[in-house]
């Protein structure tokens, strides 16, 4: 076994993970700490923030525990990198103190964003590859300019969440193209900050960190961080990237036409492309971690958090019991799902996952479950039927979003790669492969996002010469699932009915 190790910090919407991998991609240690965002409706509609000091202490704690529980010598940790949820923004003053720290779904800048969209939407899309502005830093900084000018004047640096973690570890400001493009102030083609947009929106011109490629060492663990965490002072700190892009890297997806599905809090679908695509405002074009590569993305929206809500509502006791026995908690859920035949006995779910279309902002209509009447208790086992119909709901949306990506990119999807927490459910994997009707690859490491960040750390630490060799050593396939013709036929009929009901529910505002 390798005696070299890499550390990755993966900051998600629900909490922070600290992961330690060896150079064969084996997960040695994982520590997780939950966190919550604070609703700040006093500052605007659906305004949210977080306490940066509290979050940083949680990150520090997970690092310390991951090292302790791994029982490895911290001197053998050769590099550390970070990844995080996208679109969140942190603004610092000249002393590095947080003026504003908020998640992606802080909606305080809705009004400013809609105004920017109306005035400059076409130009913004052609430069950044994404809409609508209210999701991004472009609108959020504009909100401070209009609503909190005293804070606006003190803004010294704009960072995304993973950039902020790198800064806290090393004291160095940095970003990478995959993270910077999530500000909507970044030229996605040239992979540089867009002076044109910054000037057009009359925003500060000197608050943007230098851009480095993923896998670049930008600093070292500081003495202060070393004392608090147990890391060794001087350990290389390496630029990572956005969570979805790191997940693609963790699955080894670096060639045009590669498609990855990331089952997390949301479920983005990304296809690797060799040049940016700007022919549809429905989807986003992002920078890949690899220079000269991009991704086209259809985000299916809230999914994992809806599944967790259903899980906790229907079977929290069984879930917690499985965890306490060190059993895969998805096993008992799979048993519930397996008790219901494909098609969920005619039940359809309309919750969370959506057909991606960023070109039109409109009410979402209504959702829930449609169950054929009369209900037959002996036939319709409620828990299994609801869980299965939700997983089928997810798979239908994934299929429709894959169809969009094919149409807009002009590239045929030949196979699917999928990672994330839900891939621990064998039933979910089977539903996906038979709904999308493409060979589907499942990876040994479901923590592919953290693995992608660890690969970046390995490159920056000089343990591999390039991403290809790092991927060959650290990313490993578990199995490839093939569609079953009988199941494909069932789900093809199911998706037609689902689309019909979906259109009706959309109109019910």
Round to whole Å and give the CA distance between 304 and 214.
27
pTM value? 0.95
CATH of domain 89-159+177-211: 3.30.420.40
pLDDT of residue 205: 94
- Look at residue 305 in the predicted model and tell me its pLDDT: 82
- For residues 106 and 477, give the distance between their C-alpha atoms in angstroms, rounded to a whole number: 37
Length of the chain: 509
pLDDT reported for residue 373: 85
**pLDDT value, residue 312:** 82
CB proximity list for 404: less than 8 A, separation 6 or greater: 282, 283, 298, 355, 356
Provide the strand spans (E) within 257-374: 259-263, 266-273, 284-287, 294-302, 348-350, 368-370
For the chain (509 residues), the mean pLDDT of every run of 10, in chain order, is 89 94 98 95 89 98 98 97 95 98 93 96 97 95 97 98 98 98 98 98 97 98 98 98 97 98 93 97 97 96 85 78 76 88 94 90 82 74 88 97 97 97 93 98 95 98 97 98 98 96 85
The alpha carbon torsion through 151, 152, 154, 157 (nearest 10 deg) reads: 120
Helix (H) / strand (E) element for 9: namely strand 5-11
Confirm if 4 and 463 have CB atoms less than 8 A apart.
yes
Per domain, the residue ranges of the chain are: 89-159+177-211, 253-506
**CA dihedral for 60, 35, 358, 123, sign (positive or negative):** negative
Same fold, 89-159+177-211 and 253-506: yes
Q: Which two tokens stand for residue 84?
A: 């995080």
pLDDT of residue 12: 92
Residue 292 pLDDT: 96
DSSP 448: H
The CATH classification of domain 253-506, taken from the options 3.30.420.40, 3.40.50.1970, 1.20.140.10, 3.40.367.20: 3.30.420.40
* Model pLDDT, residue 415: 98
């Amino acid at each position: 076994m390798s005696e070299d190790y890499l550390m990755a910090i993966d900051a998600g919407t629900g909490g922070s993970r600290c992961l330690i991998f060896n150079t064969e991609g084996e997960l040695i240690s994982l520590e997780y700490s939950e966190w919550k965002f604070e609703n700040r409706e006093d500052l605007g509609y659906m305004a949210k923030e977080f306490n940066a000091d509290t979050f940083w202490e949680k990150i520090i704690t997970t690092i310390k525990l991951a090292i302790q529980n791994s029982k490895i010598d911290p001197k053998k940790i050769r590099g550390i990198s970070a990844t995080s949820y996208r679109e969140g923004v942190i603004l610092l003053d000249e002393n590095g103190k947080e003026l504003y720290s908020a998640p992606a779904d802080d909606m305080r800048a809705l009004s400013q964003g809609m105004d920017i969209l109306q005035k400059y939407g076409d130009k913004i899309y052609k430069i950044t590859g994404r809409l609508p502005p209210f999701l991004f830093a472009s609108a959020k900084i504009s909100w401070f300019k209009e609503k909190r000018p005293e804070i606006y004047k003190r803004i010294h640096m704009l960072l995304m969440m993973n950039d902020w973690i790198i800064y806290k570890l090393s004291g160095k400001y940095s970003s990478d193209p995959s993270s910077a493009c999530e500000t909507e102030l970044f030229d996605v083609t040239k992979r540089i900050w867009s002076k044109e947009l910054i000037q057009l929106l009359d925003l500060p011109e000197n608050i943007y960190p230098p851009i480095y490629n993923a896998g670049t060492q930008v600093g070292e663990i500081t003495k202060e961080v070393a004392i608090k965490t147990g890391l060794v002072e001087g350990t290389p700190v390496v630029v990572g990237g956005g969570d979805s892009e790191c997940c693609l890297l963790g699955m080894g997806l670096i060639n045009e036409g590669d498609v990855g599905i990331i089952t997390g809090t949301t479920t983005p679908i990304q296809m690797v492309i060799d040049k940016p695509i700007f022919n549809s405002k429905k989807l986003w074009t992002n920078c890949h971690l690899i220079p000269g590569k991009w991704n086209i993305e259809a985000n299916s929206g809230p999914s994992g958090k809806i599944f967790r809500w259903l899980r906790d509502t229907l079977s929290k006791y069984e879930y917690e019991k499985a965890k306490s026995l060190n059993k895969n908690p998805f096993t008992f859920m799979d048993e519930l799902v397996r008790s219901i035949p494909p098609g969920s006995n005619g039940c359809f779910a309309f919750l969370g996952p959506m057909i991606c279309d960023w070109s039109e902002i409109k009410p979402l209509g209504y959702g829930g479950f449609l169950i054929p009447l009369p209900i037959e208790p002996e036939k319709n086992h409620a828990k299994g039927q609801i869980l299965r119909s939700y997983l089928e709901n997810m798979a239908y949306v994934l299929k429709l979003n894959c169809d969009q990506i094919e149409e807009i990119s002009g590239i045929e999807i030949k196979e699917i790669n999928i990672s994330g927490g839900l891939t621990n459910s064998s039933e979910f994997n089977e539903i996906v492969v038979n709904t999308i009707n493409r060979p589907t690859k499942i990876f040994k490491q479901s923590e592919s996002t953290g693995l992608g960040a660890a690969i970046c750390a390995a490159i920056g630490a000089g343990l591999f010469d390039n991403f290809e060799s790092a991927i060959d050593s650290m990313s490993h396939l578990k199995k490839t699932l093939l569609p079953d013709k009988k199941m494909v036929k069932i789900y093809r009929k199911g998706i037609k009915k689902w689309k019909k009901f979906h259109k009706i529910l959309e109109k019910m505002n």
